[in-house]
Structure 1
Amino acid sequence: MAVPAAAARRLLALARSRRAFWSASWSADQAAPSASSPPPDSNSKKKKAPSGSAPHRLAAVMDAVNERKLPPELRGRGNAVRSETDIVNVVEQRIWHSMEEGHFENLPGKGKPLNLNSNPHADPAEDTLYRILSRNGCAPEWVELNKEIRGMIAGWRSALKKAWANQSEVDGSSWNDDCRVLQEQIRQINDKVFRYNLIVPFGRQMFGLNWEKEVDKLKSK
């Protein structure tokens, strides 16, 4: 068993020596600079695409299209900054020139009242319904409810001011009683405001009353 063990040790040593030789040779080749290749230039810049390349042609076409969209006063200024102010100035100049030349004198409908019978932004069914109600001297429900709510708010604020002015005369018990009544009234008003906001056209909603904010307004006066 001694001979095979010695042979195995020699084979292992030979393999290690070959591995070390090839590793050293590869490291030397990587460390040594190539004589044929020039050293890298740290100041070299990235080459631009040639003028005949596809990206260059595409950019030229886009510039030409954008140029045609501009007013004649702003064309031919490739290096100029076309700000929004420049475009607005051109538009204002054209409007003034048109006014001086009288282009706004013979507009259709000049001197005539506006046609307010129809609303192009409203729903056609609702617009027809409102016109029928108007012809018969009736107002939509939300209009009548709006008037009622505004009247209730005005009366409630008057009662709040009166209660606030009388709250320091005795011991404050009357103020506590008035607060309970006013808070119940404000709840009823806010219920009507909630119903109003459900039936009113979009954009005409209103805010309800807030007890703390209303009292703070009186304190700040």
Structure 2
Amino acid sequence: MSSIFDILAEQRIADALKRGEFEHLPGAGRPLVFDDELFQSPEQRMANRILKNAGFVPQEVLLRREIASLRHQLTEADGERREDARRRLRLLIATLESLRR
């Protein structure tokens, strides 16, 4: 159930849209950039930025990429290559699960 404040805010936004107040804002039509991680300390944000700029990719992300690639290979592979891909996929999924713990 909406509060009176929610209803009032929605009404004011709708009125501003009708007047065209949102049409020529800076950055319109470009994607939003979410670089700041609000719930991390400034020190942690700096460390993350340094790692990102150095091209560091967390192991979990690398595993997920490889899992996606193997799943795609499974649709096209047959015989021995398919079994190898299945074994590798099971190993990667188990490794990913162990990282989560």
Q: Under TM normalisation by the shorter chain, which class is it?
A: 0.5 to 0.7
Deviation (angstroms), 1:150: 1.8
1:134-149, aligned counterparts within 5 Å? 134-149=52-67
The 5 A counterparts of 1:165-176 are none
Greater relative contact order: 1 or 2 (C-alpha under 8 angstroms, separation 6 or more)?
A: 2
For the residues of structure 2 that align with 1:179 and 1:105, how far apart are their CA atoms? 53
Gaps of 5+ in 2: none
> Residue 187 of structure 1 corresponds to which residue in structure 2?
90
Query: C-alpha distance in 1, partners of 2:26/2:20?
Result: 16
Q: Determine if the alignment matches structure 1 residue 93 to structure 2 residue 11.
A: yes
Q: Give, as a single letter, the amino acid of the residue that structure 2 aligns with 1:194.
A: E
Aligned 1:91-170 pairs, distance under 5 A: 91-100=9-18, 104=22, 110-112=25-27, 114-121=32-39, 123-124=40-41, 126-159=44-77, 162-163=78-79
Q: Check 1:141–1:189 CA distance in 2 against 1; reply closer, same or farther (3 A cut).
A: closer
Structure 1 residues not aligned, in runs of 5+: 1-83, 164-176, 199-221
Determine which structure has more spread, i.e. the larger CA radius of gyration: 1
Total equivalences in the alignment: 96
| Structure 1 residue 147, shift from structure 2 partner | 1.7
1:137 is displaced (CA, Å) by 2.5
Instruction: State how far apart, in whole Å, the 2-side matches of 1:115 and 1:181 are.
Output: 40
Q: Please report the RMSD computed on the Cα atoms of aligned residues, expressed in angstroms.
A: 4.0
Residues 155 and 91 of structure 1: CA distance in aligned 2, closer, same or farther (over 3 Å) = same
The percent identity for this pair of structures is 21
TM-score, L = length of structure 2: 0.54
Shift of 1:157: 4.0
- Which residue identity lines up with residue 134 of structure 1 in the other structure? K
